[in-house]
Structures are given as C-alpha cells and as structure tokens.
C-alpha cells in the first residue's frame, strides 16, 4: 500500500513540476507591456509604468496655485517610442476660472497655449478645439528644439480644474500608437 501511495505522490509531484515548468515557459512569452491604470485628483489614465508624483506651488497673476505633476520618464526604456508621459493638474479659484464662463474661455486657452510654447521656446505646429464629457479643451503640438522633438498636449478645463495631458517624443516617432493610447485613456472620475 505504501509503494502505491509513494508512486502516486511521485507521479503527482512530477506532473505538478511539469505544469509549473510549462507555466513558466508560457509566462516568458506573455506580453509584459501591460499599462497601469492610474487614478488621482478627479481623473484616471493609463501610464506605461507607474508615474512619479510631484507637487509645487506656483505664483501666478491670480495668486498661489498648487500644481500636481504625474510624470513617467520613458527616455531610458529602449522599447518605448516616447520620452515622457505626463499629466498636470491645477485647481484655480472658482470665481476667476471656470469652464462655465464661456466668454473667457478663448482668452484662457490662448494664454495657456502661448505660455506653453514660450516656456519650451518652441513653435506651435497645430491646434484644435476638443472636448471631454462636454468640458472644453484644446489639443496642440509644439515643435521642440527646431525639429528634435514634438510635444503633444491636450488641455481640458473641468469647472475650475485644468488638466494637461502631454507626451514628448522624438520627431521621427511623432505618430506612434502609444501617444494615442495614453491620450485617449484619460477619463474623469465620476
């Protein structure tokens, strides 16, 4: 009886080791490029890897504003066609900046776009009006360093909160699918 039990246990052990080996082999071929769903400050978005968080207080014409930055530096990842992925979030005083104040939106976006271009000493390549869940936005592309790289940004004003989604990529990689995946995954939390 003990021999039968021992043979049975050895047979089961060998089967389990075999199954484990097969699973390890299969896992080696599973796509490890799964993106991370990141949630924070009223939004969710997919990043290729976990972003770093930074917050800073910015002095502005309307007072001190707290800016949150969520950034993934992909420049060391040779498989990624982009250099960075980022989301910036800033809350403004509701009485001064709000998406319901449609009369002020053109000037608000113009100032934001012009400031972005000036900050990187770039050149505006394209601009279009967009929206997210009925909230106004703009999508822009900026040439950086005279053709070296392209910065793509989507700016959304949601009530009194500005969200900026951006990627930076070498110009030769300007139309890669990861940019669209990142930008299109941005959603507002309900």
Residue indicated by tokens 């309900």: 190
For residue 61, the model assigns a pLDDT of 85
Give the model confidence (pLDDT) of 169-187 as tens digits: 999 999 999 999 999 999 9
CB 156 within 8 Å of CB 135: yes
Alpha carbon 28 to chain centroid, angstroms: 27
pTM: 0.81
pLDDT at position 18 is 45
Lowest mean pLDDT among 5-14, 84-93, 94-103: 5-14
Percentage, residues of the chain above pLDDT 90: 76
pLDDT at 115 over 80: yes
pLDDT digits (tens, 9 = 90+) for 21-78: 443 333 333 334 689 999 998 999 999 999 999 999 999 888 999 999 999 999 999 9
How many angstroms separate the CA atoms of 70 and 42, rounded? 13
């Amino acid at each position: 009886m003990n021999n039968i039990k021992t043979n049975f246990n050895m047979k089961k052990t060998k089967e389990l080791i075999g199954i484990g080996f097969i699973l390890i082999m299969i896992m080696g071929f599973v796509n490890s490029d799964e993106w991370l769903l990141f949630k924070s400050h009223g939004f969710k978005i997919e990043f290729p890897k976990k972003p770093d968080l930074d917050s800073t207080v910015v002095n502005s014409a309307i007072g001190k504003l707290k800016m949150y930055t969520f950034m993934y530096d992909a420049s060391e990842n040779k498989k990624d066609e982009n250099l960075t992925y980022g989301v910036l979030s800033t809350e403004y005083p509701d009485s001064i900046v709000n998406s319901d104040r449609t009369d002020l939106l053109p000037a608000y976006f113009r100032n934001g776009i012009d400031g972005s271009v000036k900050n990187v000493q770039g050149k505006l390549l394209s601009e279009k009006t967009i929206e997210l869940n009925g909230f106004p936005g703009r999508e822009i592309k900026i040439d950086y360093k005279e053709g070296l790289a392209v910065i793509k940004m989507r700016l959304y004003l949601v009530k009194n909160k500005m969200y900026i989604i951006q990627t930076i990529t070498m110009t030769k990689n300007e139309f890669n699918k990861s940019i669209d995946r990142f930008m299109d995954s941005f959603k507002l939390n309900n």
